[in-house]
Amino acid sequence: MDLKVDLGGRRVLVTGASSGIGAAACRSIVTAGGSVGMLARRKERLDELRAELGERALPVPCDVTDLDALQASVGEAARSLHGLDGVVAVAGKSMVGTIMTGTPERWRDLLNLNLVGPLATVRYAVGHFPIEGRRDVVLVASTGSITPMAGVGIYAASKRGLRAAFDALRLELAPAGVNTSCVMPGMFETEGLTIEGMAFDGDVPPDNIPWFAPDSGPASATDLADTIAFMISRPEGFCINELVARPTGQLNP
């Protein structure tokens, strides 16, 4: 098998493109020769990324929880890129707080962002795929979907729901030759690991969990993004369906 990552001619939609794993994925795809439609809420961040990556990076400001706007934005990206043959759904947010002290209205907002948004993105993007050739759907879940922990129950539920939907999507899309993958990252350098990037709702349990081994910490989002680019560059007919990726020193979750 050729281990070279060559995405020349590929046209990939990436959500959550303004920071973290999404922005890193855009860089990795363009570096490998592909073009990207970059969806995110923060236009100024997208414009900065466009200036960095050049003409093969198309900024499309969009809130994935606004389903009408999302459908229109996916269509805009597809028209500008003359079609799509890949989608990497990264957009999402972490939430910390116990279920018994939380706010159901905020749970709904998180589920709309972390579960409905990615699935709607795929629903709208796949309609712009060609009928043959390499085509990829990548959903980004979390190791929190494998081992839920106290204080992140709603976040874990949203990501476990995404994993369950992935299993169904794989069965639905495989007969058409579309590759479907679910990536479950651990702790990488993203805004979601910062106080500013997290959502808080209800009481936060005492932080007595050993997250990392001594002298360890989050890994680079670029390493994960390069791995995603590798996954979608494989020969037609071969798919890495599931990937769990953690920093070596991560202990939980």
Q: What is the pLDDT of residues 201-248, one digit of tens each?
A: 999 887 777 888 999 999 999 999 999 999 999 999 999 999 999 999
Distance of CA 141 to the CA centre of its chain: 7
Could you tell me what percentage of the chain is helix, strand and coil, using 3-state DSSP and rounding each to the nearest 5? 40, 15, 40
pLDDT of residue 1: 60
Cis-peptide into 235, omega within 30 deg: no
For residue 154, pLDDT over 70 is answered with yes
Q: What is the pLDDT of residues 1-29, one digit of tens each?
A: 668 999 999 999 999 999 999 999 999 99
- Measure the CA–CA gap between 103 and 6, rounded to whole angstroms: 46
Output the pTM of the full model: 0.95
* Burial classification of residue 168, based on how many CB atoms lie within 10 Å of its CB (0-12 exposed, 13-18 middle, 19 or more buried): exposed
Class of the CATH domain delimited by 11-245: alpha beta
pLDDT of residue 148: 87
pLDDT over 70 percentage in the chain: 99
Q: What is the pLDDT of residues 54-82, one digit of tens each?
A: 999 999 999 999 999 999 999 999 999 99
Domain regions of the chain by residue span: 11-245
- Measure the CA–CA gap between 112 and 147, rounded to whole angstroms: 22
What residue type is assigned to position 74 of the chain? V
pLDDT of residue 192: 76
